[in-house]
Structure 1
Protein backbone atom coordinates (compact mmCIF):
# COMPACT_ATOMS: atom_id res chain seq x y z
CA UNK A 1 0.00 0.00 0.00
CA UNK A 2 1.16 3.55 -0.71
CA UNK A 3 2.28 5.56 2.28
CA UNK A 4 -0.15 7.73 4.19
CA UNK A 5 -0.23 11.37 3.20
CA UNK A 6 -1.94 13.70 5.66
CA UNK A 7 -3.95 16.76 4.66
CA UNK A 8 -4.93 19.37 7.24
CA UNK A 9 -8.64 20.22 7.02
CA UNK A 10 -10.30 23.07 8.91
CA UNK A 11 -13.81 22.52 10.29
CA UNK A 12 -16.76 24.74 11.19
CA UNK A 13 -15.63 24.44 14.82
CA UNK A 14 -12.43 26.49 15.10
CA UNK A 15 -11.26 24.35 18.02
CA UNK A 16 -11.28 21.17 15.87
CA UNK A 17 -9.01 20.30 12.96
CA UNK A 18 -9.14 17.13 10.87
CA UNK A 19 -5.98 15.33 9.77
CA UNK A 20 -7.14 13.41 6.73
CA UNK A 21 -5.28 10.46 5.21
CA UNK A 22 -5.42 9.22 1.63
CA UNK A 23 -6.23 5.75 3.03
CA UNK A 24 -8.81 4.33 5.41
CA UNK A 25 -7.67 4.28 9.03
CA UNK A 26 -10.60 2.37 10.53
CA UNK A 27 -13.66 0.75 9.02
CA UNK A 28 -17.06 0.08 10.54
CA UNK A 29 -16.06 1.84 13.78
CA UNK A 30 -15.38 5.31 15.09
CA UNK A 31 -13.57 6.24 18.27
CA UNK A 32 -13.60 9.15 20.70
CA UNK A 33 -10.97 9.55 23.41
CA UNK A 34 -10.99 12.26 26.08
CA UNK A 35 -7.90 11.28 28.07
CA UNK A 36 -4.99 8.83 28.17
CA UNK A 37 -6.95 6.23 30.15
CA UNK A 38 -9.68 6.09 27.53
CA UNK A 39 -6.99 5.90 24.83
CA UNK A 40 -5.29 2.75 26.18
CA UNK A 41 -6.26 0.86 23.01
CA UNK A 42 -4.81 3.58 20.75
CA UNK A 43 -1.07 4.32 21.17
CA UNK A 44 -1.21 7.26 18.76
CA UNK A 45 -4.00 8.93 20.72
CA UNK A 46 -2.00 8.41 23.91
CA UNK A 47 0.96 10.15 22.26
CA UNK A 48 -1.24 13.05 21.27
CA UNK A 49 -2.53 13.49 24.83
CA UNK A 50 1.02 14.24 25.95
CA UNK A 51 0.50 17.56 24.16
CA UNK A 52 -1.04 19.86 26.81
CA UNK A 53 -3.50 21.49 24.42
CA UNK A 54 -5.14 18.26 23.17
CA UNK A 55 -8.65 17.96 24.63
CA UNK A 56 -10.31 15.20 22.56
CA UNK A 57 -9.19 12.82 19.80
CA UNK A 58 -11.67 11.41 17.29
CA UNK A 59 -10.84 8.65 14.79
CA UNK A 60 -13.16 7.66 11.94
CA UNK A 61 -12.88 6.40 8.39
CA UNK A 62 -9.84 8.16 6.89
CA UNK A 63 -9.25 10.96 9.39
CA UNK A 64 -8.16 11.86 12.90
CA UNK A 65 -9.83 14.95 14.33
CA UNK A 66 -8.41 16.77 17.34
CA UNK A 67 -10.17 19.26 19.57
CA UNK A 68 -7.80 21.66 21.35
CA UNK A 69 -7.94 23.67 24.51
CA UNK A 70 -7.85 27.40 23.92
CA UNK A 71 -4.20 27.86 24.91
CA UNK A 72 -2.66 27.71 21.42
CA UNK A 73 -3.75 28.44 17.87
CA UNK A 74 -3.87 25.69 15.27
CA UNK A 75 -1.60 27.71 12.99
CA UNK A 76 1.21 27.30 15.50
CA UNK A 77 0.97 23.52 15.97
CA UNK A 78 -0.98 21.82 13.17
CA UNK A 79 1.98 21.15 10.87
CA UNK A 80 3.95 19.48 13.64
CA UNK A 81 0.96 17.31 14.60
CA UNK A 82 0.38 16.39 10.97
CA UNK A 83 3.97 15.16 10.70
CA UNK A 84 3.63 13.20 13.94
CA UNK A 85 0.44 11.48 12.76
CA UNK A 86 1.87 10.72 9.32
CA UNK A 87 5.07 9.27 10.80
CA UNK A 88 3.11 7.01 13.15
CA UNK A 89 0.72 5.75 10.47
CA UNK A 90 3.64 4.92 8.16
CA UNK A 91 5.51 3.08 10.92
CA UNK A 92 3.31 0.02 10.54
CA UNK A 93 2.26 0.09 14.20
CA UNK A 94 -1.41 -0.66 14.94
CA UNK A 95 -3.63 2.38 15.19
CA UNK A 96 -6.24 0.81 17.46
CA UNK A 97 -5.73 -2.47 19.29
CA UNK A 98 -8.86 -4.63 19.20
CA UNK A 99 -9.88 -7.92 20.74
CA UNK A 100 -10.06 -9.44 17.28
CA UNK A 101 -13.84 -9.82 17.36
CA UNK A 102 -15.39 -8.80 14.07
CA UNK A 103 -18.81 -7.27 14.49
CA UNK A 104 -21.33 -7.25 11.72
CA UNK A 105 -22.36 -3.72 10.84
CA UNK A 106 -25.84 -3.17 9.38
CA UNK A 107 -25.59 -1.92 5.82
CA UNK A 108 -28.28 -0.54 3.56
CA UNK A 109 -27.95 -0.30 -0.21
CA UNK A 110 -30.37 1.25 -2.64
CA UNK A 111 -30.31 1.47 -6.43
CA UNK A 112 -30.57 4.61 -8.55
CA UNK A 113 -31.04 4.80 -12.29
CA UNK A 114 -28.59 6.90 -14.33
CA UNK A 115 -28.85 8.63 -17.71
CA UNK A 116 -26.91 5.69 -19.14
CA UNK A 117 -29.41 2.83 -19.67
CA UNK A 118 -26.64 0.27 -19.22
CA UNK A 119 -25.45 1.71 -15.89
CA UNK A 120 -27.00 1.52 -12.44
CA UNK A 121 -25.81 3.30 -9.29
CA UNK A 122 -25.84 1.36 -6.00
CA UNK A 123 -25.58 3.66 -2.96
CA UNK A 124 -24.55 2.45 0.50
CA UNK A 125 -24.98 4.06 3.92
CA UNK A 126 -21.21 3.97 4.53
CA UNK A 127 -18.07 5.28 2.90
CA UNK A 128 -16.67 2.66 0.51
CA UNK A 129 -13.45 4.21 -0.71
CA UNK A 130 -11.18 7.18 -0.08
CA UNK A 131 -10.04 7.44 -3.71
CA UNK A 132 -12.17 6.73 -6.77
CA UNK A 133 -11.49 3.38 -8.45
CA UNK A 134 -12.21 1.96 -11.89
CA UNK A 135 -12.35 -1.71 -12.82
CA UNK A 136 -12.58 -2.38 -16.55
CA UNK A 137 -12.49 -6.20 -16.24
CA UNK A 138 -12.13 -9.00 -13.72
CA UNK A 139 -8.37 -8.90 -14.34
CA UNK A 140 -8.26 -5.51 -12.61
CA UNK A 141 -9.64 -6.94 -9.33
CA UNK A 142 -8.03 -8.67 -6.36
CA UNK A 143 -9.14 -12.06 -4.98
CA UNK A 144 -11.72 -12.20 -2.18
CA UNK A 145 -12.94 -8.63 -2.67
CA UNK A 146 -16.29 -7.08 -3.44
CA UNK A 147 -15.12 -5.97 -6.88
CA UNK A 148 -14.03 -9.52 -7.78
CA UNK A 149 -17.34 -10.87 -6.49
CA UNK A 150 -19.36 -8.52 -8.67
CA UNK A 151 -17.69 -9.98 -11.75
CA UNK A 152 -19.26 -13.32 -10.87
CA UNK A 153 -22.33 -11.83 -12.51
CA UNK A 154 -21.76 -12.50 -16.23
CA UNK A 155 -23.47 -9.27 -17.30
CA UNK A 156 -21.10 -6.96 -15.35
CA UNK A 157 -18.88 -5.04 -17.76
CA UNK A 158 -17.24 -2.21 -15.75
CA UNK A 159 -17.23 -0.82 -12.21
CA UNK A 160 -16.65 2.72 -11.01
CA UNK A 161 -16.55 3.28 -7.24
CA UNK A 162 -16.39 6.58 -5.39
CA UNK A 163 -17.31 7.77 -1.90
CA UNK A 164 -20.38 5.68 -0.94
CA UNK A 165 -21.56 4.33 -4.29
CA UNK A 166 -20.79 1.72 -6.92
CA UNK A 167 -21.67 2.47 -10.53
CA UNK A 168 -22.04 -0.74 -12.53
CA UNK A 169 -22.07 -0.82 -16.30
CA UNK A 170 -23.53 -3.99 -17.78
CA UNK A 171 -23.32 -5.83 -21.07
CA UNK A 172 -26.48 -5.56 -23.14
CA UNK A 173 -27.57 -9.14 -22.42
CA UNK A 174 -30.13 -8.49 -19.69
CA UNK A 175 -32.26 -5.68 -18.27
CA UNK A 176 -31.71 -3.97 -14.95
CA UNK A 177 -35.28 -4.89 -13.97
CA UNK A 178 -34.24 -8.54 -13.99
CA UNK A 179 -31.05 -8.24 -11.93
CA UNK A 180 -31.12 -5.09 -9.77
CA UNK A 181 -32.52 -6.78 -6.65
CA UNK A 182 -29.97 -9.61 -6.83
CA UNK A 183 -27.04 -7.24 -7.28
CA UNK A 184 -28.22 -4.93 -4.50
CA UNK A 185 -28.56 -7.86 -2.07
CA UNK A 186 -25.11 -9.16 -3.03
CA UNK A 187 -23.47 -5.79 -2.38
CA UNK A 188 -25.22 -5.39 0.98
CA UNK A 189 -24.35 -8.90 2.20
CA UNK A 190 -20.74 -8.62 1.04
CA UNK A 191 -20.24 -5.27 2.79
CA UNK A 192 -21.81 -6.63 5.98
CA UNK A 193 -19.38 -9.55 5.89
CA UNK A 194 -16.52 -7.06 6.10
CA UNK A 195 -15.03 -7.51 2.64
CA UNK A 196 -13.29 -4.54 1.05
CA UNK A 197 -13.72 -3.10 -2.43
CA UNK A 198 -10.11 -4.03 -3.12
CA UNK A 199 -7.47 -2.13 -5.03
CA UNK A 200 -7.59 -1.87 -8.80
CA UNK A 201 -4.86 -2.80 -11.23
CA UNK A 202 -6.38 -0.50 -13.83
CA UNK A 203 -4.85 2.95 -14.06
CA UNK A 204 -6.79 4.97 -16.57
CA UNK A 205 -5.36 8.13 -18.04
CA UNK A 206 -7.98 10.00 -16.06
CA UNK A 207 -7.04 8.57 -12.67
CA UNK A 208 -3.31 8.93 -13.16
CA UNK A 209 -3.69 12.51 -14.27
CA UNK A 210 -6.14 13.41 -11.54
CA UNK A 211 -3.73 12.13 -8.88
CA UNK A 212 -0.91 14.10 -10.45
CA UNK A 213 1.21 10.97 -10.73
CA UNK A 214 1.93 11.33 -14.44
CA UNK A 215 5.21 13.04 -15.25
CA UNK A 216 3.55 14.46 -18.36
CA UNK A 217 0.85 16.22 -16.37
CA UNK A 218 1.61 18.93 -13.82
CA UNK A 219 -0.27 19.07 -10.55
CA UNK A 220 -2.94 21.69 -10.01
CA UNK A 221 -0.52 24.24 -8.57
CA UNK A 222 1.59 24.01 -11.73
CA UNK A 223 -1.27 24.60 -14.16
CA UNK A 224 -1.67 27.88 -15.99
CA UNK A 225 -4.31 30.29 -14.69
CA UNK A 226 -6.95 29.37 -17.28
CA UNK A 227 -6.54 25.65 -16.59
CA UNK A 228 -6.84 26.28 -12.85
CA UNK A 229 -10.05 28.20 -13.42
CA UNK A 230 -11.43 25.36 -15.56
CA UNK A 231 -10.63 22.78 -12.86
CA UNK A 232 -12.28 24.95 -10.20
CA UNK A 233 -15.44 25.30 -12.30
CA UNK A 234 -15.57 21.56 -12.98
CA UNK A 235 -15.10 20.76 -9.29
CA UNK A 236 -17.67 23.24 -8.04
CA UNK A 237 -20.42 23.10 -10.65
CA UNK A 238 -20.06 19.97 -12.77
CA UNK A 239 -18.65 17.14 -10.66
CA UNK A 240 -21.43 17.11 -8.02
CA UNK A 241 -24.11 16.76 -10.69
CA UNK A 242 -22.15 14.08 -12.52
CA UNK A 243 -21.56 12.16 -9.27
CA UNK A 244 -25.31 12.14 -8.66
CA UNK A 245 -25.61 10.20 -11.90
CA UNK A 246 -22.94 7.70 -10.90
CA UNK A 247 -20.10 9.17 -12.92
CA UNK A 248 -17.11 11.46 -12.80
CA UNK A 249 -15.47 14.04 -15.00
CA UNK A 250 -11.73 14.74 -15.00
CA UNK A 251 -9.85 17.65 -16.53
CA UNK A 252 -7.45 16.32 -19.17
CA UNK A 253 -6.01 19.46 -20.67
CA UNK A 254 -6.47 22.92 -22.18
CA UNK A 255 -4.92 24.20 -25.38
CA UNK A 256 -4.67 27.97 -25.33
CA UNK A 257 -3.85 28.20 -29.06
CA UNK A 258 -7.26 26.90 -30.15
CA UNK A 259 -9.33 27.25 -26.95
CA UNK A 260 -9.93 23.50 -26.69
CA UNK A 261 -10.74 21.91 -23.31
CA UNK A 262 -10.41 18.13 -22.98
CA UNK A 263 -12.25 16.20 -20.28
CA UNK A 264 -12.51 12.48 -19.54
CA UNK A 265 -15.80 10.84 -18.55
CA UNK A 266 -15.82 7.98 -16.04
CA UNK A 267 -18.36 5.63 -14.50
CA UNK A 268 -21.92 5.85 -15.77
CA UNK A 269 -20.94 8.76 -18.00
CA UNK A 270 -18.41 6.68 -19.92
CA UNK A 271 -20.01 5.24 -23.02
CA UNK A 272 -23.40 6.80 -22.27
CA UNK A 273 -25.22 7.47 -25.56
CA UNK A 274 -26.30 10.94 -24.47
CA UNK A 275 -23.72 12.07 -21.94
CA UNK A 276 -20.92 12.99 -24.32
CA UNK A 277 -23.06 15.45 -26.25
CA UNK A 278 -25.05 16.70 -23.25
CA UNK A 279 -22.05 17.18 -20.98
CA UNK A 280 -19.91 18.69 -23.66
CA UNK A 281 -22.56 21.23 -24.60
CA UNK A 282 -23.42 21.99 -20.97
CA UNK A 283 -19.80 22.38 -19.93
CA UNK A 284 -18.98 24.31 -23.07
CA UNK A 285 -21.74 26.84 -22.40
CA UNK A 286 -20.75 27.28 -18.76
CA UNK A 287 -17.03 27.63 -19.46
CA UNK A 288 -17.63 30.14 -22.26
CA UNK A 289 -19.79 32.26 -19.95
CA UNK A 290 -17.46 32.07 -16.96
CA UNK A 291 -14.18 32.40 -18.89
CA UNK A 292 -15.18 34.68 -21.77
CA UNK A 293 -13.03 34.73 -24.88
CA UNK A 294 -10.83 31.78 -23.83
CA UNK A 295 -12.93 28.69 -24.59
CA UNK A 296 -13.90 27.56 -28.09
CA UNK A 297 -14.94 23.94 -27.59
CA UNK A 298 -14.94 21.06 -25.15
CA UNK A 299 -13.91 17.58 -26.24
CA UNK A 300 -15.29 14.77 -24.04
CA UNK A 301 -13.47 11.44 -24.06
CA UNK A 302 -14.60 8.16 -22.50
CA UNK A 303 -12.34 6.90 -19.71
Structure 2
Protein backbone atom coordinates (compact mmCIF):
# COMPACT_ATOMS: atom_id res chain seq x y z
CA UNK A 1 0.00 0.00 0.00
CA UNK A 2 1.34 3.42 -0.98
CA UNK A 3 0.12 6.45 0.98
CA UNK A 4 0.71 9.89 -0.47
CA UNK A 5 1.01 12.99 1.67
CA UNK A 6 0.05 16.51 0.70
CA UNK A 7 0.67 19.77 2.49
CA UNK A 8 -2.32 21.95 3.36
CA UNK A 9 -2.49 25.73 3.72
CA UNK A 10 -2.37 25.09 7.48
CA UNK A 11 1.30 24.50 8.38
CA UNK A 12 0.15 22.38 11.34
CA UNK A 13 -1.91 19.94 9.22
CA UNK A 14 -0.96 17.31 6.65
CA UNK A 15 -3.21 15.30 4.37
CA UNK A 16 -2.59 11.53 4.05
CA UNK A 17 -4.11 9.87 0.96
CA UNK A 18 -4.28 6.06 1.21
CA UNK A 19 -5.55 5.65 -2.37
CA UNK A 20 -8.95 4.34 -1.29
CA UNK A 21 -12.19 5.56 0.21
CA UNK A 22 -11.74 6.65 3.81
CA UNK A 23 -15.17 7.84 4.94
CA UNK A 24 -18.52 8.44 3.23
CA UNK A 25 -19.28 11.04 5.91
CA UNK A 26 -16.67 13.47 7.28
CA UNK A 27 -15.63 12.88 10.90
CA UNK A 28 -13.53 15.13 13.11
CA UNK A 29 -11.79 14.20 16.36
CA UNK A 30 -10.24 16.88 18.57
CA UNK A 31 -9.54 14.85 21.72
CA UNK A 32 -8.45 11.32 22.60
CA UNK A 33 -11.90 10.78 24.16
CA UNK A 34 -13.64 11.63 20.86
CA UNK A 35 -11.11 9.46 19.02
CA UNK A 36 -12.24 6.36 20.93
CA UNK A 37 -15.09 6.13 18.40
CA UNK A 38 -12.55 5.13 15.72
CA UNK A 39 -9.67 2.64 15.92
CA UNK A 40 -7.65 4.71 13.42
CA UNK A 41 -8.26 8.06 15.15
CA UNK A 42 -7.42 6.48 18.51
CA UNK A 43 -4.15 5.05 17.13
CA UNK A 44 -3.22 8.45 15.70
CA UNK A 45 -3.96 10.26 18.97
CA UNK A 46 -1.62 7.87 20.77
CA UNK A 47 1.25 9.32 18.72
CA UNK A 48 3.18 12.22 20.24
CA UNK A 49 2.10 15.63 18.96
CA UNK A 50 -1.22 14.71 17.32
CA UNK A 51 -3.82 17.37 18.15
CA UNK A 52 -6.60 16.57 15.67
CA UNK A 53 -7.74 13.98 13.13
CA UNK A 54 -10.20 14.49 10.29
CA UNK A 55 -11.56 11.82 7.92
CA UNK A 56 -12.58 13.04 4.47
CA UNK A 57 -13.88 11.04 1.53
CA UNK A 58 -10.44 9.82 0.41
CA UNK A 59 -8.01 11.25 2.93
CA UNK A 60 -7.01 11.49 6.58
CA UNK A 61 -5.97 14.95 7.72
CA UNK A 62 -3.80 15.12 10.85
CA UNK A 63 -3.23 18.32 12.80
CA UNK A 64 -0.16 18.57 15.01
CA UNK A 65 0.33 20.47 18.22
CA UNK A 66 2.58 23.42 17.28
CA UNK A 67 4.42 22.99 20.59
CA UNK A 68 5.10 19.31 19.89
CA UNK A 69 7.50 17.55 17.51
CA UNK A 70 7.74 18.66 13.89
CA UNK A 71 6.49 16.85 10.82
CA UNK A 72 9.94 15.32 10.23
CA UNK A 73 9.50 13.28 13.44
CA UNK A 74 5.74 12.70 13.12
CA UNK A 75 5.24 11.74 9.47
CA UNK A 76 6.62 8.16 9.56
CA UNK A 77 4.63 7.04 12.64
CA UNK A 78 1.45 8.55 11.17
CA UNK A 79 2.04 6.79 7.84
CA UNK A 80 2.59 3.51 9.71
CA UNK A 81 -0.63 3.92 11.74
CA UNK A 82 -2.69 4.73 8.63
CA UNK A 83 -1.18 1.82 6.69
CA UNK A 84 -1.64 -0.63 9.56
CA UNK A 85 -5.28 0.35 9.89
CA UNK A 86 -6.19 -0.07 6.22
CA UNK A 87 -4.16 -3.27 5.78
CA UNK A 88 -5.85 -4.81 8.85
CA UNK A 89 -9.32 -4.37 7.36
CA UNK A 90 -10.62 -2.97 10.66
CA UNK A 91 -13.69 -0.72 10.45
CA UNK A 92 -13.12 3.02 10.47
CA UNK A 93 -15.69 3.59 13.21
CA UNK A 94 -16.66 1.48 16.24
CA UNK A 95 -20.32 0.65 16.77
CA UNK A 96 -21.90 2.95 14.18
CA UNK A 97 -20.83 6.39 13.14
CA UNK A 98 -20.03 9.59 14.92
CA UNK A 99 -22.86 12.07 15.17
CA UNK A 100 -23.17 14.35 12.21
CA UNK A 101 -24.94 17.66 11.79
CA UNK A 102 -28.63 17.03 12.16
CA UNK A 103 -31.23 19.11 10.43
CA UNK A 104 -33.74 20.85 12.65
CA UNK A 105 -36.82 20.45 10.51
CA UNK A 106 -37.27 21.89 7.07
CA UNK A 107 -34.86 24.52 5.78
CA UNK A 108 -36.08 27.81 4.40
CA UNK A 109 -35.55 28.35 0.67
CA UNK A 110 -32.57 30.64 1.38
CA UNK A 111 -30.93 28.13 3.75
CA UNK A 112 -31.47 25.34 1.23
CA UNK A 113 -29.82 27.51 -1.44
CA UNK A 114 -26.86 28.24 0.89
CA UNK A 115 -26.40 24.55 1.71
CA UNK A 116 -26.60 23.58 -1.96
CA UNK A 117 -23.91 26.13 -2.84
CA UNK A 118 -21.74 24.89 0.04
CA UNK A 119 -22.09 21.27 -1.10
CA UNK A 120 -21.60 21.86 -4.83
CA UNK A 121 -18.92 24.55 -5.00
CA UNK A 122 -17.29 25.30 -1.68
CA UNK A 123 -16.89 21.99 0.20
CA UNK A 124 -15.08 20.25 -2.70
CA UNK A 125 -12.53 23.08 -2.86
CA UNK A 126 -12.04 23.08 0.92
CA UNK A 127 -11.65 19.26 0.89
CA UNK A 128 -8.68 19.66 -1.46
CA UNK A 129 -6.95 21.47 1.40
CA UNK A 130 -7.70 18.68 3.89
CA UNK A 131 -10.71 20.20 5.60
CA UNK A 132 -14.42 20.69 5.55
CA UNK A 133 -16.87 23.55 5.96
CA UNK A 134 -20.34 23.13 7.45
CA UNK A 135 -23.44 25.28 7.66
CA UNK A 136 -24.09 26.48 11.21
CA UNK A 137 -26.81 29.15 11.00
CA UNK A 138 -28.25 31.95 8.90
CA UNK A 139 -29.84 35.04 10.45
CA UNK A 140 -32.43 36.31 7.97
CA UNK A 141 -32.72 39.71 9.71
CA UNK A 142 -29.00 40.58 9.58
CA UNK A 143 -27.97 38.41 6.62
CA UNK A 144 -25.12 36.89 8.67
CA UNK A 145 -24.17 33.34 7.71
CA UNK A 146 -22.13 31.37 10.24
CA UNK A 147 -20.04 28.41 9.13
CA UNK A 148 -17.88 25.82 10.90
CA UNK A 149 -14.40 24.95 9.63
CA UNK A 150 -13.11 21.43 10.35
CA UNK A 151 -10.02 19.37 9.69
CA UNK A 152 -6.97 21.20 8.34
CA UNK A 153 -9.08 24.34 7.87
CA UNK A 154 -9.84 24.67 11.57
CA UNK A 155 -7.18 26.91 13.04
CA UNK A 156 -5.52 27.52 9.68
CA UNK A 157 -4.00 30.99 9.41
CA UNK A 158 -5.57 31.50 5.98
CA UNK A 159 -9.08 30.29 6.92
CA UNK A 160 -10.37 33.81 7.65
CA UNK A 161 -9.05 34.99 4.29
CA UNK A 162 -10.73 32.00 2.62
CA UNK A 163 -14.00 32.86 4.33
CA UNK A 164 -13.89 36.56 3.45
CA UNK A 165 -12.30 36.54 -0.01
CA UNK A 166 -13.72 33.27 -1.28
CA UNK A 167 -16.79 32.02 0.54
CA UNK A 168 -18.31 35.39 1.46
CA UNK A 169 -17.94 36.79 -2.05
CA UNK A 170 -19.44 33.67 -3.64
CA UNK A 171 -22.33 33.59 -1.17
CA UNK A 172 -23.12 37.29 -1.71
CA UNK A 173 -23.06 36.76 -5.47
CA UNK A 174 -25.36 33.72 -5.56
CA UNK A 175 -27.46 34.42 -2.44
CA UNK A 176 -27.97 38.20 -2.18
CA UNK A 177 -29.62 37.83 1.24
CA UNK A 178 -26.17 36.97 2.69
CA UNK A 179 -24.46 40.16 3.89
CA UNK A 180 -21.58 38.64 5.88
CA UNK A 181 -19.97 35.27 6.58
CA UNK A 182 -18.49 34.46 10.00
CA UNK A 183 -16.72 31.44 11.39
CA UNK A 184 -17.99 29.65 14.50
CA UNK A 185 -15.13 28.48 16.65
Do the structures match in fold with TM over 0.5?
Answer: yes
TM-score by length of 1: 0.56
User: Cα distance, 1:277 vs. partner?
Assistant: 3.0
The runs of 4+ residues in structure 1 deviating greater than 3 Å are 199-203
TM-score by length of 2: 0.89
2:119 counterpart residue number: 235
Quick check: 1:287 aligned with 2:171? yes
Q: How far apart, CA to CA, are the structure 2 residues paired with 1:277 and 1:143?
A: 33
Deviations 1:49-102 (A, max 9, x none): xxxxxxxxxxxxxxxxxxxxxxxxxxxxxxxxxxxxxxxxxxxxxxxxxxxxxx
Which structure shows the higher helix fraction?
A: 2
Quick check: 1:136 aligned with 2:21? no
Q: How far apart, CA to CA, are the structure 2 residues paired with 1:144 and 1:295?
A: 37
Give the unaligned 5+ runs of structure 1. Answer: 1-106
Q: CA RMSD in A?
A: 2.2
Any residues of structure 2 matched to 1:268-283 within 5 Å, and which? 268-283=152-167
2:150 counterpart residue number: 266
2:78 counterpart residue number: 183
User: Cα distance, 1:208 vs. partner?
Assistant: 3.9
Quick check: 1:165 aligned with 2:165? no
Q: How far apart, CA to CA, are the structure 1 residues paired with 2:148 and 2:156?
A: 13
2:88 equivalent among 181, 187, 193: 193
User: Cα distance, 1:201 vs. partner?
Assistant: 10
Residues 255 and 136 (structure 1 numbering): CA distance in 2 closer, same or farther, change over 3 Å?
A: same
Q: RCO greater where, 1 or 2, for CA within 8 Å and sep 6 or more?
A: 2
Larger Rg: 1
For this pair of structures, how many residues does the alignment match?
Answer: 184
Give the unaligned 5+ runs of structure 2. Answer: none
Deviations 1:118-141 (A, max 9, x none): 111111112122222111111123
On the 8 A contact 1:246/1:269 being kept in 2, the answer is: yes
Q: How far apart, CA to CA, are the structure 2 residues paired with 1:240 and 1:176?
A: 26
On the 8 A contact 1:134/1:202 being kept in 2, the answer is: no
Q: How far apart, CA to CA, are the structure 2 residues paired with 1:199 and 1:272?
A: 29
On the 8 A contact 1:140/1:202 being kept in 2, the answer is: no
1:117 counterpart residue number: 11
3-state SS of 2:156 partner? coil
On the 8 A contact 2:37/2:94 being kept in 1, the answer is: no
